[in-house]
Amino acid sequence: MVPACCCADWIAGLARDHAGRLAAIARREGASAADALDLVQDAFHTLLRRPEAETLRDRPEEAANLLAAIVRNAARNARRRHHRARPHVELDEAELAAVAPADPIELAQLGRCMAKIGDVHRHVITLRVLEELSGDEAARELGVTANYVGVLLNRARKALEACMEGR
């Protein structure tokens, strides 16, 4: 991380020159005014944690472009999470008991489909679905990031769904 004493003027200048434009980018991506300001602050924090932050000090336009990309992606991710958010629904034991056991034919087909997908996808399904590990735990097990575990899990589910539907 860049020490505060050597970059306060640089960051203040970036904020003064680009904060309005960065907030406008976040607003165009669907963030509220308050959220846009939070996203801009987070972008500056992210910039300062990056290993190349010190080298960007002498290249303010590159730093501004990087900040714009960080804000844009963060706003899109926030919008996506909000759009996908679903309320938690409590299930009682009677509802769980009413779920029919899996059809043996479907289980056999699922087994064949699991054998067809790649080793990594099969391992992700095993860790996340069968062993019920969290994304972080599965990431540590696989030696990848938690975000990449989510990507792999999504791809594995789509492959299984396609196989189960005969596509």
Q: Is residue 152 part of a domain?
A: yes
Q: Is residue 94 part of a domain?
A: no
Instruction: Determine the Cα–Cα distance for residues 132 and 121; give it in Å rounded to an integer.
Output: 15
Is the model's pLDDT at 56 over the cut of 60?
A: yes
Domain check: are 116 and 80 in the same one?
no
Structural domain including 15 reads 4-84
Taking Cα atoms as reference points, which of 74, 71, 72 lies closest to residue 82?
74
Structure-model confidence comparison of residues 34 and 82, the more confident one: 34
User: What is the CA 16 to chain-centroid distance, rounded?
Assistant: 30
Residue 59 has a CB neighbour count (10 Å cut-off) of 12
Domain check: are 70 and 108 in the same one?
no
**Neighbouring C-alpha atoms within 13 Å toward the C-beta of 98:** 5
The stretch 139-155 carries a mean pLDDT of 90
> Which pLDDT tens digit goes with each residue over 71-102?
999 988 887 776 555 555 565 555 555 555 56
Residue 100's contacts (CB-CB under 8 Å, 6 or more residues apart) are: none
Instruction: Determine the Cα–Cα distance for residues 119 and 54; give it in Å rounded to an integer.
Output: 41
Structure-model confidence comparison of residues 7 and 35, the more confident one: 35
Domain check: are 74 and 114 in the same one?
no
Domain check: are 79 and 141 in the same one?
no
Domain check: are 118 and 148 in the same one?
yes
Q: Which CATH number does the domain housing residue 110 bear?
A: 1.10.10.10
